[in-house]
Chain A
Amino acid sequence: MRVSLNWLKDYVDLTRPAGEIAHLLTMAGVEVAQVNEIGANWAHIYVGRISKLERHPNADRLLLATVDYGREPVIVVTGAPNLAVGVHVPLALAGAVLVDPYSDQPHKMTLKPTKLRGILSEGMVCSAKELGLGDDHEGILILDPDSEIGRDLRDELGDTIFVLEVTPNRGDCLSMLGVAYEIAAHLDSKAQAPAVEWAGVGRPASELVSIEIADPDLCYRYCGTVIRGVKVGPSPRWLRKRLTAAGLRPINSVVDVTNYVMWELGQPLHAFDFDTLRGGKIVVRRANAGERMVTIDHEERELDSDTLVIADNERPVALAGVMGGVDTEVSESTVNVLIESATFNQTSIRKTVRKQKLPSEASRRFEKGLPLELARIAVDRATRLMVEVAGGQAAPGVVDVCPEPPKPHVIDFPVSEVRRLLGVELSKETIVSNLRRLSVGVEDRGDILTLKPPYWRRDIRHKADVCEEIARIIGYDRLPTRLLSGSIPEPQPNQFWQNSRLLRELLVGLGINEIVTYPLVSNARQSRVPQGTVLQLKDDVNEFDERFNPSVEPLKLLNPLSADADSLRVNTICQLLETLRDNLRYRDRDLDLFEIGRIYLPQDGKLPDERNVLSVVLYKNRSGRRWGQVEAQDFYDGKAVASAIAGRFGVVVSYDRLEHPLFLAGRSASVRDPNTGELLGAVGEIHPDVLGGFDINESAVLVVFDLDRLFQRAADRRRYRQLPRYPAIRQDLAVFVAQSTPAAQVEQVIREVGQPLLESVELFDVYQGERIGGHSWEGRSLAYHLTYRLADRTLTDEEVAGKHGEIIKTLEGRLQAQLRA
């Protein structure tokens, strides 16, 4: 909403500086986003008139313009293409400060007389840009022909424009008068509403037109007046200037009056060419399905039965509150006019605007809801102005259809509410006087005030609204501030948040970078992460996919911003690899990444299951002791991370072989709860085909965890154990086993048989080669440190030797292992 300070002065005495007014409004909730002080820096600039125009004797492209400005005429040299004898232009003389039109910066220049090609230019005629009025530097700014020659340009064009950001509750501030009331309240002065009286002549309006509201649920009031014998032409200068200041384009005297009143009072109006209305009748009704009309933008519009229209006896002539029809539009030849001022159902207007994609200054006001009282005030104001501006005679009376007349809203307001909500002690007198400044009617009934907000403040309905009004007048900054006290709720720590934090700290400590990606993706992107085949064993669902990449139809957006982000993700792996790929372009190093993010799985008749997933990718990393050394990471790096995670949360896990096209066969594992067998996560080297889909050419390792399942099992399992009192006996053990024998089996046998003497087993060597120990063997050698110890006494060598032998024998028996000499 553009508010001209000059215009505001019609309603309220304003002597405060513009900056102070802007601050007042902003602090009170009517934000002034911008203050344009037009002409604040102008001096030595006047309204001039070109009296003579001739060619520069020494330059083809330059002109010599003689400019009258009430004193000795001056000659200026100019290259402007749009000058003509008789036009009024801004004339800047020596000392004027202008904007340099050729600088990108807001650079200022001070004018001095200059010789141009041998002829002295005593001044300059200015473009809009040079005056700081805009970007136009194509030609000289041509002033209104009615402007007064010799007038200081500040008096001619100077003004201050406040650009307001009006919040949805303050529809009243979409009007000059509303803003004036607001300012007056803060300055503790009074705003004066404009005159609305007018006198009619001849046959009363009610005999000329009948108005019917057929759908009173969508139209609450419709006021019409008829003006006969108007002369449609350009509006007078004061009116054009006002509309221009408001950012509206002057059109003709009739339309300009309706726009002026809309800006002044906030009530949108429409003017019909009365003679084009058939049957002298206005019907406000829902459109019939399939009905069509052409609006003034010459678009044919198909209507449906939800759309409210203004119709005459035969056809729709306007989309109510949104746009008029071309058939009944006011034109040069219009003689008689019907002015419409109505109150429509705001929701209905909003729907029509959305359906027809036709937002306008009028619909903006209707959508916020208008007071019923205003329709009548505005029609009177417009009728009065129209007669004044466009001539003609108004038919006596307003045809005013209002099935339910307005009644003021009443609020019983306990004085104690101010303390209860604002935390400030105010006397009743202060409360009452603050409310009266806002034009709220106050009836003092002791502890309770009966309040009647003014008709234009439809947002004051509750006690809380009243408190806000009082706070606004006092100033929020002057309300007390105190440190929060009172009872603290029972602690209910958010487990997920806390565990995520621990997980994040762990992974960051391991040197992995956290990323946060958008959950919006496309099917095409997501499908680069392959799904596995269905194993018959498990309910026809691939277990890995079910957790981390379910084959479900993702949730789709009805209104995506782009095709590659039109649905909610069902896996996090796609974006993890995309991020890796994007960072490879920067040749960055140490590209280990993780994300703690959600996947969104549709559920019938319910909101989706938003499942929390950790995904980690390990890529080449600088490690070891050498500068610049970069090493690929493999399955075991991933397994180390997975075990570190499980260990951090005290969750015991087991690893099984995992077959899935996402991973390299034989270099991937599922991570399970060993008790229930439930899948908690997975780790593996990503299949090169998958990586290739992301333009990643070297190996990468993926670790994923279902965080809901992991955290569910989290527990602090740490317990104190007494430090050993008796010495340990350490023995090494190296065995050959077949390639297909998992190390876990070997270790399990050792632990099982070693009981209860065996304290710990530690693998220290894996050797795999064609020849081991002098003879060919197709398996591998595993070497362990075994530590024997008892808590309550010293072991004898014999006992240990016996146990050790038993272990070896069992390994040989069960796993066909051979002792390595």
Chain B
Amino acid sequence: MDNLIERLQQVEAEAGQALAAASDEAALEEWRVKYLGRRGVITEALRGLGALPADERPGVGAVANQVKDRLSSLLAEKQEAVRRAALLQQLEQRQVDITLPAPPLRRGQAHITQQILQDIVDAFARLGFQVAEGPEVELDYYNFEALNIPKEHPARDMWDTFWIDDKGRPGEVLLRTHTSPVQVRVMEQTRPPVRVVVPGRCYRYEAVDATHESIFYQVEGLAVDESLTMADLKGTLVSFVHTIFGPKRRARFRCDYFPFVEPGVEMAIDCHGCGGSGCRLCKHTGWIEIMGAGMVHPNVLAGVGYDPNVYTGFAFGMGPERIAMLKYGIDDIRLFYGNDLRFLRQFGPLEVAR
């Protein structure tokens, strides 16, 4: 019996060495068949078991099973190791050059004017201003007369006008020169309190250069109620400046003239180029004008049937292109509607890396 046990031990040692040498699935299978198979070496070795006395058989049998178990678990370990090695090799081959740019995703972007209009509208929406719109082809009445600018008023020189060839009504139909006519249209249709913000396209009959377009946008705002004052006007506009340009921007208010407001206001912000000390950008004043405003003129209120002794209101208007130019450092307004995608894409997602 010792003989047989020795034989088993010998087989175990031999199998261990053979297993260490096997390096792929096929070799392992071959090994398994050779040592653990039904006709394997261990089975062969146990053939002599029948020749042993019956009381010795269980002892040898147990040894044989132990050897078998140990070899089986060695095989399992080895199989796992081989599988991992193969996987590793496979993964190795799948590595990519991570510095290649990603395949392009299609990217589009809203037009810069629409983006800034939305920003402006949102800034006022927080204060309860709702969007109103109106026609671009307007009547002289809404564009001028109802805004306290009668025919032949010298202030009409402030708005060079495109006139429409309207056979029936000469001098009556025009392309609106500002969004202010919508103030009148809104007030005609509602009663106070009024809070609207009016984005829209406007037209001026004037030569185009880097700072003037003949076709451009405006955003108008109007609030009318029983107790609105210049203090509300100032507060509203300061809040706007902080929303759009950041809380550190300072606003300056000075007197200006627009026939449909009184007192008239012009708002400037401190120049981001020089911080207020004066530079080329702000024409050495330290301030950049961004908005006209004022308290709604009593004639305008009375014209829409609001009693100017009961109601007061304020209105303001700005050029969104100018706001965008300041915000993004654009130096030529003609780029806005040239629709060169090389320009428009600068206001899409940043191409930080692909």
Contacts and interface: CB of A to CB of B under 8 A. Distances in A.
A608 B193 CA distance: 30
A479 B295 CA distance: 14
Contact of A347 (B139, B152, B223, B236): B152
Contact of A494 (B131, B214, B228, B312): B131
B37 interface: no
A559 B295 CA distance: 33
Interface string A508-520: 1111111111111
Contacts of B165: 555-558
B231 interface: yes
Interface in B267-305: 295, 297-299
A698 interface: no
Interface residues of B, number: 92
B255 A556 contact: no
A477 B265 CA distance: 11
B224 to A, nearest CB: 10
Contacts of A723: none
Interface stretch (A61-69, A120-128, A466-474, A670-678): A466-474
A420 B254 contact: no
Contacts of A480: 231, 234
Contacts of A509: 108
B229 A420 contact: yes
Contacts of A621: 106
A210 interface: no
B298 A557 contact: no
A60 B202 CA distance: 63
B342 interface: yes
A31 B285 CA distance: 12
A751 B62 CA distance: 71
Interface string A440-483: 00000000000000000000001111011001100011011111
A216 B41 CA distance: 137
Contacts of A579: 339
Given A421-B229, A504-B114, A600-B137, A492 B130 contact: yes
Interface in B129-178: 130-133, 135-139, 151-155, 157-158, 162-166, 168, 173, 175
Nearest to B204: A561
B245 interface: no
Contact of B111 (A350, A516, A591): A516
B227 A422 contact: no
A679 B100 CA distance: 47
B193 A476 contact: no
A622 B104 contact: yes
B79 interface: no
Interface stretch (A97-105, A221-229, A582-590, A707-715): A582-590
Nearest to A511: B106
Interface in B194-234: 194-195, 199, 201, 203, 205, 207-208, 214-215, 223, 225-232, 234
A420 B312 contact: yes
A494 B339 contact: no
Contact of B339 (A351, A487, A583): A583
B9 interface: no
B253 A515 contact: no
A464 B108 contact: no
Interface string B80-101: 0000000000000000000011
Contacts of B101: 627
Contacts of A402: none
B11 interface: no
Interface string A496-525: 110001001101111111111111100000
B304 to A, nearest CB: 15
Interface stretch (B15-23, B43-51, B66-74, B256-264): B256-264
A561 B207 CA distance: 8
Contacts of A514: 108-111, 114, 344
A508 B154 contact: no
Contacts of B255: 27-29, 468, 471-472, 476
Contacts of B136: 519, 598, 600, 610
B341 interface: yes
A168 B164 contact: no
A623 B109 CA distance: 17
B1 interface: no
Nearest to B157: A168
A242 interface: no
A169 B223 contact: no
Contacts of B59: none
A324 interface: no
B257 A479 contact: no
A422 B190 CA distance: 25
Contacts of A497: 121, 131, 133, 199
A417 to B, nearest CB: 10
A419 B230 CA distance: 9
B157 to A, nearest CB: 7
A17 interface: no
Which of A463, A492, A557 has most chain B Cβ within 10 Å?
Answer: A557
A579 B340 CA distance: 8
B267 to A, nearest CB: 9
A368 interface: yes
A494 B163 contact: no
Given A29-B255, A487-B225, A583 B340 contact: yes
A591 B225 CA distance: 48
Contacts of B227: 420, 486
Contacts of A194: none
Nearest to B190: A489
Contacts of B340: 582-583, 586
A479 B239 contact: no
Interface in A582-633: 582-583, 586, 588, 590-592, 598, 600, 605, 607-608, 610, 621-627
B252 to A, nearest CB: 6
Contacts of A537: none
Contact of B230 (A369, A421, A558, A624): A421
A481 B130 contact: no
B109 A513 contact: yes
Contacts of A622: 104, 106
Nearest to A489: B193
B256 A167 contact: yes
Contact of B108 (A423, A471, A488, A592): A592
A40 interface: no
B137 A555 contact: yes
B173 A422 contact: no
Instruction: Name the 10 nearest CB pairs between A and B, nearest first.
Output: A511-B106, A423-B229, A29-B255, A423-B231, A468-B263, A167-B257, A488-B128, A494-B131, A464-B262, A347-B152
8 contacts: A29-B255, A462-B297, A477-B252, A477-B253, A507-B108, A514-B108, A518-B337, A519-B201
Interface of A: 26-29, 31, 167-170, 346-347, 350-351, 367-369, 419-424, 462-465, 467-468, 471-472, 476-477, 479-489, 491-494, 496-497, 501, 504-505, 507-520, 555-561, 568, 579, 582-583, 586, 588, 590-592, 598, 600, 605, 607-608, 610, 621-627
Given A483-B236, A487-B225, 15 more contacts: A168-B259, A169-B259, A424-B229, A462-B298, A464-B297, A468-B262, A476-B254, A481-B234, A481-B235, A482-B231, A507-B108, A513-B109, A516-B113, A516-B114, A582-B340
